[in-house]
Structure 1
Amino acid sequence: MGEFLVGIAGTPEGARLATLLALMSAVAHAAFGALQKGRHDPWLSRGAIDAGLIVISAPVALFLVPWPTGQVAVLLLGALVIHFAYKVTMALSYERAAYTVVYPVVRGTGPLVTVLAASVIFHEHFSVVQWLGVSCLSGGILMLAWVNLHENDIDLRGMKIGLLWALAAGILVAIYTTYDAYGIRQATDPFTFLAWFFFITALDFPLLAAWRWRAMTDRPALGPLFVRGLVGSFVAWLSFGGVMLATRLDKVGEAAVLRETSTVFAALIGWLFLGEHVGKRRTALMGLVALGAVIVEMGG
């Protein structure tokens, strides 16, 4: 399977598969964000998800695929540092501010910076039409955050701090998207890289979450956390693995932009399954986000 993916990279067939993988990643990431923010402490939720990732990834990494060596091993250690910083900023933003405000800010900032980084590192270039699409998508996402900000009863000071952390997380999304795309392109087999990536980058937060859980006076039950973590680990494979494979097959910038349609899917999940009110303004902005993604894809 890995050889097949490498073989179609850069071809029209690879581009079509990359589009499907990026959209699958968007749906999965919307669910992933909701799982982390949920009713549990976001630090514990992320720790549980990472523990689940260790459980499902360790057997594959340790026994089924080759061990990483040389440059790939160094890149995986770098990924551990970058993703730890990302996870910390996400937990801090979720701790301070509402999910409906934080999530769009993170996802709206990421593609703008990623497209710029991809142009420097991978020499990708967007057409004027595609830049219009990026503007529609990121602008729609950020305006969605603005609407959500003004329709919630909020602690203004806490919200401002949460938004600053969300902005930092958005920049780290761009960094890890570009870095991971470079890393997976250096590996002979992309699935070998993914197995070790999910195992190594999940080693940190379970320890941090365990320390936090032990320090709590009112400790939540571990059973529901374990279930949430196991479900989240499979969702993480689809979300992060899908977009990384997409960047291996086609342009990094286009995959990053398409993935950020996750904001639309998050709103649809809230409307269809959680009974949340969407309204005309949110519907219009989600349409703008979707239109931006279509423009980027068709304008290439």
Structure 2
Amino acid sequence: MTGLAITLVLAAAFGHAAWNYLSKKASGGTAFIWLFASMSVLLYLPLAVWILVVQKPVIGWYQLGFMLGSAALHSLYFVLLDKGYTIGDLSLIYPLARGTGPMLSTIAAIVFLGEHPSLIALSGAGLIGLGIIVITGNPIKMKDPAARKPMIFAILCGIVIAGYTISDKLAVSSFLIPPLLLDWSSNLGRVFLLTPYALKNWDKVKEQWTLHKFEALGVAILCPLAYILVLTAMVYSPVSYIAPAREVSILIGTAMGAKLLAEGNVKVRLAGASAMVVGLAALSIG
């Protein structure tokens, strides 16, 4: 990866871990998702308009298709993530979801995009996979439905992450959709998809505004910013390097869960997260 790409990815990692901490803290369900998506649309609207007016990107049927697909995939991702955070720890859900995604993204990039990461880069991806195994802990616990359910939501998040990573990579690099415009349109699509629910459950929306307006504002700012930085990095570097490298946020998010939310199994989860950071170093060298 280039130095610029690494800088963008690391900045995105801190922003990503921060908004996940805020989302876990709120655990406000679909009403909270609609609230911060609406705020994101309003906050980033001037920049989206500026891109349309000044850059004049080509927006044809293919571009619209990718925008709609991104909106659908990201909406599903946020719903699954919120379900996981409602019943599971940040230091479990976050690394498991973020670790599963790049593993699948790297495989998909090799199979479908024809990318050829080096042996060192593949070893780094393998270390991230090892970290996933360490973080999930004792496999016997998987027999307990209460322990298994959060992991299932996290893995489903990872699958969706892999899907939108590949789709969005094609959108920004092959179909030249500006990263900020792609993310803004994804938020706009999510607002439209969830508005029927919001109108039907307006009391829940008002409750989330009363209880978690500051968390919603933080997510509204940091979530698009973190992903815009990643999409920009994808313009310059292969997705098979970017997708796993951005997961340094796993260590940050795990530490936040341990220190700020006082979650258990701290040493084991930090050890697994550390293996992922070593994987990041290998990817950077590769």
Flag whether TM exceeds 0.5 (same fold). Answer: yes
Where in structure 2 are the equivalents of 1:150-229 lying within 5 Å? 156-185=144-173, 186-187=175-176, 189-205=178-194, 207-209=196-198, 211-212=200-201, 214=203, 220=207, 222-229=209-216
Whether 2:20 is the aligned partner of 1:33: answer yes
Q: What amino acid does structure 2 have at the position aligned with 1:127? A: S
More helix by share: 2
Deviations 1:86-125 (A, max 9, x none): 2222222223333322222211211110001111232111
Whole-angstrom CA distance in 2 between matches of 1:33 and 1:206: 22
Report what 1:231 is aligned to. 218
Whole-angstrom CA distance in 1 between matches of 2:171 and 2:183: 10
Report what 1:297 is aligned to. 284
Residue 137 of structure 1 is aligned with which of 92, 106, 128? 128
Whether 2:66 is the aligned partner of 1:75: answer yes
Whole-angstrom CA distance in 2 between matches of 1:64 and 1:118: 28
Where in structure 2 are the equivalents of 1:22-101 lying within 5 Å? 22-62=9-49, 65=52, 66=56, 68-101=59-92
Whole-angstrom CA distance in 1 between matches of 2:228 and 2:238: 16
Percent of paired sites with the same residue: 22
Report what 1:247 is aligned to. 234
Tell whether the 8 Å contact from 1:25 to 1:238 is kept in structure 2 after alignment.
Answer: yes
Q: What amino acid does structure 1 have at the position aligned with 2:275? A: L
Q: Where do 5+ consecutive residues of structure 2 fail to align?
A: none
Q: What amino acid does structure 2 have at the position aligned with 1:141? A: I
Whole-angstrom CA distance in 1 between matches of 2:150 and 2:265: 23
Tell whether the 8 Å contact from 1:48 to 1:225 is kept in structure 2 after alignment.
Answer: no
Tell whether the 8 Å contact from 2:95 to 2:273 is kept in structure 1 after alignment.
Answer: no
Whole-angstrom CA distance in 2 between matches of 1:273 and 1:288: 22
The alpha-carbon distance between structure 1 residues 234 and 281, as it changes in their structure 2 partners (threshold 3 A), is same
Whole-angstrom CA distance in 2 between matches of 1:190 and 1:242: 8
| TM-fit CA distance, 1:275 | 6.1
| CA RMSD between the two structures | 3.0
| TM-fit CA distance, 1:271 | 5.1
Report what 2:247 is aligned to. 260
Q: Where do 5+ consecutive residues of structure 1 fail to align?
A: 1-11
Q: What amino acid does structure 2 have at the position aligned with 1:252? A: V
| TM-fit CA distance, 1:156 | 4.0
Tell whether the 8 Å contact from 1:96 to 1:159 is kept in structure 2 after alignment.
Answer: no
Report what 1:8 is aligned to. none
Q: What amino acid does structure 2 have at the position aligned with 1:257? A: P
Tell whether the 8 Å contact from 2:48 to 2:184 is kept in structure 1 after alignment.
Answer: yes
| TM-score with structure 2 setting the length | 0.85
| TM-fit CA distance, 1:30 | 0.9
Whole-angstrom CA distance in 2 between matches of 1:179 and 1:35: 27
Whole-angstrom CA distance in 2 between matches of 1:271 and 1:168: 23
Whole-angstrom CA distance in 2 between matches of 1:289 and 1:141: 8
Tell whether the 8 Å contact from 1:97 to 1:158 is kept in structure 2 after alignment.
Answer: no
The alpha-carbon distance between structure 1 residues 287 and 238, as it changes in their structure 2 partners (threshold 3 A), is same
| TM-score with structure 1 setting the length | 0.81
